[in-house]
């Protein structure tokens, strides 16, 4: 979900308006992807490193998220979509934490696609936290393998990532789903997130369909 701030600056608007436009695009993008047959969608909404941004921008973004959360969740709920949160909750405002918990509970029994929102998420942090949980569980070192370890990740129960789409022109993973993206295909586009529409989604999926995935084999 990159490029919100640059989208706003290019239009002479405050950066916060770019974040608003980006949040407004979330429901549309998820529903477009699901309609095209995608069963699991994860959106990188806010990284652990994003706390380094100016405090007023963070405050505004958290407020915007709280406002958009209910509307977006209800739109996805009506589409029978399950909503999950990936990342830490302890640094988020209590009202936002409660809202996330309520929405996850509300959509828990839905039977459609799964939309995961990575908020206050970092791939390295997730792996470190998973290692701590594994130790605290009393799991013996000899019993730890990839399958067992995955049970302690935020994404437990979800499939590995097939395709990572990054908007905004940057060409790196930026600490996103490092474990789960080991064999992911990568697609980079200069299109900014608020402009990532049906046509752009089609281009990304068409590019992915042309790839030959080997998973380390021949």
User: How far apart (Å, rounded) are the C-alpha atoms in residues 93 and 90?
Assistant: 8
Alpha helix segments (H runs only) across 36-93? 55-78
How many other C-beta atoms are found inside a 10 Å radius of the C-beta of residue 81? 21
**What residues are labeled active site?**
2, 50
Which tokens belong to 177?
């789903």
Q: Where are the beta strands (DSSP E) in 88-189?
A: 114-121, 163-166, 185-188
Alpha helix segments (H runs only) across 79-197? 94-107, 123-136, 146-150
């Amino acid at each position: 979900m990159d490029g919100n701030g640059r989208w706003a600056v290019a239009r002479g608007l405050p950066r916060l308006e770019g974040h608003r436009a980006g949040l407004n695009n979330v429901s549309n993008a998820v529903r477009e992807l699901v309609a095209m047959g995608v069963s699991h969608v994860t959106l990188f909404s806010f990284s652990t490193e994003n706390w380094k941004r100016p405090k007023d921008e963070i405050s505004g973004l958290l407020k915007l998220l709280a406002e958009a959360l209910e509307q977006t969740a209800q739109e996805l709920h009506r589409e029978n979509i399950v909503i999950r949160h990936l990342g830490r909750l302890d640094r988020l405002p209590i009202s936002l934490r409660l809202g996330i918990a309520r929405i996850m509970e509300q959509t828990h029994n839905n039977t459609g696609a799964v939309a995961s929102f990575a908020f206050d998420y970092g791939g390295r942090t997730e792996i470190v936290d998973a290692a701590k949980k594994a130790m605290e569980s009393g799991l013996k070192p000899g019993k730890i393998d990839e399958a067992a370890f995955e049970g302690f990740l935020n994404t437990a129960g979800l499939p590995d990532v097939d395709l990572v789409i990054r908007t905004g022109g940057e060409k790196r993973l930026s600490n996103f789903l490092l474990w789960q993206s080991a064999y992911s295909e990568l697609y980079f586009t200069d299109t900014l997130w608020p402009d990532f529409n049906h046509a752009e989604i089609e281009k990304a999926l068409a590019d992915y369909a042309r790839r030959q995935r080997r998973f380390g084999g021949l």
